Amino acid sequence: MNKGEDRFKKIIAHCKEYGFIFPSSEIYDGLSAVYDYGQNGAELKNNIKDYWWKSMVQYHDNIVGLDSAIFMHPTVWKASGHVDAFNDPLIDNKDSKKRYRADVLIEDHIAKLEEKINKEVQKAAKRFGDTFDEKMFRETNPRVQANLQKILDINARFVPAMENGHLDDLKALIDELEISCPVSGSRNWTDVRQFNLMFSSQMGSASDGASLVYLRPETAQGIFVNYLNVQKTGRKKLPFGIAQIGKAFRNEIVARQFIFRMREFEQMEMQYFIKPGLEKEWFEYWKEERMRWHLALGIPGEMFRIHDHDKLAHYANAAVDIEFEFPFGFKEIEGIHSRTDFDLGAHQKFSGKKLQYFDPDSNESYTPYVVETSIGLDRMFLAVVSFAFTEEKLEDGSERVVMNIPPALAPVKIAVLPLVKKDGLPEKGRELFDRLKYEFMCQYEDKDAIGRRYRRQDAIGTPYCITVDHQTLEDNTVTIRERDSMLQERIPAENVSKVVSSRISLRPA
């Protein structure tokens, strides 16, 4: 097992042990790629939602919120292209009976070639030290060049095959690249077939003519079909945005890596309606703005990178992913897409209703263009816990596991801990807890030795522990212990709220 896999296993185990995430229906042996959020997970998830919602809706005076239904008229999904084009190409290995996404097998093959190039570069950087010119090395080293050429050759066939749905070409690539099944090791593959990712059900009883409904695969369509409702009732002028947080469902072919790829998940999406022609500008703006949002949490910039899409979704004319360095490598956490008037245009066509904007400045009507930001709430959650999980060896030789969750997102902000469970300290602690609970998510704990209680709070990422001791009874001061440094200071009990508020705030200085 490599270091990343080992770390990932520990994170999954920690999430379960400390009430962040449980497998769904666990007593029935779970349900594949569906998870439940426990007592601490629900808090962390709510805090991420709150941070996103405030950044979008509260801090932008031209963005408003929406909460649309999961069920929508089935024609919505015809118009959006999801009925015809929301497919993944799947392939089965006849020996292991395992099912894969054909495009992912090819992408993994490309990633291995990229890895070879990176190793070559790292080796050379070590060898040449300060004099190393990476650009020149990449352009001239024969092994790097050979692998780069291989990637270019693969992409020259892979990208058009994906764009045009040429499944035979994908199969031919898998055969020619000699890609084998990671489980059986064999190259005994079926043909590649298209698989639609939408879940469907029937609405109404069969006797009254039930109709086909889909569980939405993205929240965005609820925003598009409400564009005019919000624009008119909110008297919005372009540019303006509509933001929404909600569940989405995809029948993923290969659902693995814990909460990274689930069949039921949550999205936080914002559609920014703009004048056609300005999409480049706004695309760049939202790319930068969204990176700023991530970095404001204090997660190091090296853990993020921007990846330009080689192949575009059926609705986009430009797209980037913000990728995060998960324990299993850099993967997409958020997408920023320039969707043109694809969706509003399609809904006008299919519904026969006008979805236009009358521009009072230019005296013309047009269909707005859209730039979308779309982040998976569960992926953001996984990014936060992956970053936060830390095993530390302390100076006294002991060890601790601490979740360095950005304080603003921590499930519990303050733990109130009487030093001992006697001498009136529990009563004093309760009094403090009862005051602080209206402002912060707090926990009161008086069982076990204080050191063990600190460790339990570290393990769930509580940024501040307040200890009530005998001196508190004399002068009403308490100690405040900071999670990461473990430093303690004495402050008046009445200052706790002010001190904690200022330290956990994400407000720009």
338 binds ligand GAP (CB under 6 A): no
Residues that contact ligand GAP, how many (by CB under 6 A):
19
Nearest Cα residue to 58 out of 313, 249, 270: 270
Kindly indicate which of the ranges 367-375, 413-421, 435-443, 495-503 contains the residues binding ligand GAP, using the contact rule CB under 6 A: 367-375
Kindly indicate which of the ranges 70-78, 233-241, 263-271, 440-448 contains the residues binding ligand GAP, using the contact rule CB under 6 A: 263-271
220 binds ligand GAP (CB under 6 A): yes
Tokens of 251: 């029948």
Whether residue 263 contacts residue 250, with contact meaning beta carbons closer than 8 Å, is answered with: yes
Q: Least distance (Å) from ligand GAP to the CB of residue 181?
A: 22
267 binds ligand GAP (CB under 6 A): yes
Which is nearer to ligand GAP, 380 or 500 (by Cβ)?
Answer: 380
333 binds ligand GAP (CB under 6 A): yes
For residue 38, what are the CA distances in angstroms to 20, 34, 43, 45?
A: 5, 13, 9, 10
Task: Find the binding residues for ligand GAP in span 39-68 (CB under 6 A).
Answer: none
Kindly indicate which of the ranges 49-57, 369-377, 459-467, 478-486 contains the residues binding ligand GAP, using the contact rule CB under 6 A: 369-377
> Which residue has its beta carbon closest to ligand GAP?
376
Taken as a whole, the chain contains a residue count of 509
Which is nearer to ligand GAP, 23 or 418 (by Cβ)?
Answer: 23
Q: Decide the pairing of beta strands 63-66 and 240-249.
A: parallel
d(CA 194, CA 90): 6
* Bridge partners of residue 485, in order along the sequence: none
Task: Find the binding residues for ligand GAP in span 417-436 (CB under 6 A).
Answer: none
265 binds ligand GAP (CB under 6 A): yes
Tokens of 160: 């058009």
Question: Which one of residues 262, 318, 336, 385 is an interface residue with ligand GAP (CB under 6 A)?
Answer: 262
Note the helical H segments in 207-341. 220-225, 227-233, 279-295
Kindly indicate which of the ranges 34-42, 260-268, 386-394, 498-506 contains the residues binding ligand GAP, using the contact rule CB under 6 A: 260-268
Which is nearer to ligand GAP, 43 or 372 (by Cβ)?
Answer: 372
92 binds ligand GAP (CB under 6 A): no
**Counting Cβ atoms within 10 Å, is residue 451 exposed (0-12), middle (13-18) or buried (19+)?**
exposed
Encoded amino acid at 42, one letter: A
Burial 16-32 (b: 16+ CB within 10 A, else e): bebbbbebbeeeeeeee
334 binds ligand GAP (CB under 6 A): yes
Which is nearer to ligand GAP, 328 or 440 (by Cβ)?
Answer: 328
Which is nearer to ligand GAP, 121 or 254 (by Cβ)?
Answer: 254
* Bridge partners of residue 324, in order along the sequence: 304, 331
Tokens of 353: 């209703």
Given the rule CB under 6 A, which residues bind ligand GAP? 218, 220, 250, 252, 261-262, 265, 267, 269, 332-335, 372, 374-376, 378-379
